[in-house]
Structure 1
């Protein structure tokens, strides 16, 4: 998948002049806001920079609108009309599916078991070692932070909790993930959200 992402980036570089002015406008606004946050972080530190960032209500509202339009009008079009899989939403979906449903989890479990046994030998300890096995149901719980418009909601294998500081759609919970307490609890490997505890 990484190779396809690289090809997509290269594809966009070569075809930048063919991208519409509207798409450039949307993308440049988003890049500018990201750059402002990075610059403020370097000068003020993460806490102060984030406090300033979340007060930019009009810019963040425009950001959400532009991101939705960019993703649904342009990224989706490109993914259907090029031979290269675009490496944003679809890449994340595929990575999740590969890990949980297409065997990648077993590879990681085997590596964890190998490392565990190796460390036990180094420490010269005597433990009963059981096979490490991660289990998953037919769906996986996904916490989508910075969701904007909940792009993963169409996946029937995903049970999505979507949050954002300025949601575009009503199915995204308005929430500042960096400043919250006690809003999530886990039961039977599922994430539950107590909205009344959201700090915003």
Structure 2
């Protein structure tokens, strides 16, 4: 019995040590990219291009991530993959999408009560596209019923930064995984910050293309996916501009009313990074999304956005929106190697500025609609 306890003890501590070594390598790659960018000797394009060509680092990164995901993170009560799947089921299978469409129609009716001028003001505030809200006989409603039954149809899911394409194990998805350096043959090589979105490319042809494991994906079909997943992706990117660009690409690839899922690591308590999460929400909703679901689990933030605009001209004059896609590591000071403290005063100033930006819908309006 004593020997058995010793084996268990050493196995536990070995696993814990291995987990730390793997995680430290991942964090180190992220940190090196941000540090090189902060020095300012080379441009973001040069730094990122060199990183994408470094096969040695990319391969080691992929191996570490694969081992963490398949051997260490599976012990969690609910893994990030399971959370994503449950959210998609709730939306498409358990009436979530239909409830959203019903609420959108209520918003339209509520806006019309205030007259023409008020309607225009509320239309901008709520960020809802009237062409995306259709009646029971519409294509959108038909799509809701058809895709909502997994026995009758499958959902097209794009997993960006996929590593090993875990969603391919679920029969309800046609899952396409992409990554800078795939961990297995189920994932296709792609730099999502540098893609072409083709309005002429059909989903059928795209799925056929991805059947070739060694093919590097560059062109993607516009508005073809039901779900786009960013799981632990945005923190990898060293600059807010890249995070913003990836989110706009996700918008272009999604169908109207499709789901955009973001999983972001955070072991602190929920309020610790509240300003960052609020900033992301405001920026992403300005693109034409509306947040549908949010949950803070022990080590991750889980966010789901619904595409509520069918087609939007997305601009980022002077980096106004892209700078909102910050992470706290962006405030790392190169001179001391220590993170600049994000103070309560910083957060107060930041939240005050948010009131001047467009959001999906304010709390007072939401309360009126629900009542």
Give your verdict on TM over 0.5: yes
Instruction: Report the Cα offset of residue 94 of structure 1.
Output: 1.6
Instruction: Report the Cα offset of residue 193 of structure 1.
Output: 5.9
1:99 aligns with 2:86: no
Instruction: Report the Cα offset of residue 159 of structure 1.
Output: 0.8
Distance 2:18 2:108 in 1: 53
Q: CA RMSD of the aligned region, Å?
A: 3.5
1:54 maps to: 52
2:21 maps to: 25
1:180 maps to: 195
Q: TM-score, normalised by structure 2?
A: 0.41
Q: Paired residues, what number?
A: 177
Distance 2:108 2:39 in 1: 42
Structure 1's 173 and 187: CA in aligned 2 closer, same or farther, altered over 3 A?
closer
CA contact (8 A) 2:188 2:217 kept: no
Give 5+ residue unaligned stretches, structure 2: 1-12, 120-129, 220-371
CA contact (8 A) 2:180 2:190 kept: yes
Q: TM-score, normalised by structure 1?
A: 0.71
**1:1-200, aligned counterparts within 5 Å?**
20-42=16-38, 46-76=44-74, 78-79=75-76, 84-86=77-79, 88-122=80-114, 124=116, 130-131=134-135, 133=141, 135=144, 136-137=146-147, 138=150, 139-182=154-197, 185-187=201-203, 192=207, 194=209, 198-199=217-218
Please list the CA deviations of residues 113-160 of structure 1 after superposition, one character each: whole Å capped at 9, or x if unmatched: 2333344555628x9984373524222110111111111111111111
> Which secondary structure does the structure 2 equivalent of 1:152 belong to?
helix
CA contact (8 A) 1:182 1:197 kept: no
CA contact (8 A) 2:195 2:218 kept: yes
Instruction: Report the Cα offset of residue 42 of structure 1.
Output: 4.9
> Which secondary structure does the structure 2 equivalent of 1:90 belong to?
helix
Distance 2:48 2:87 in 1: 29
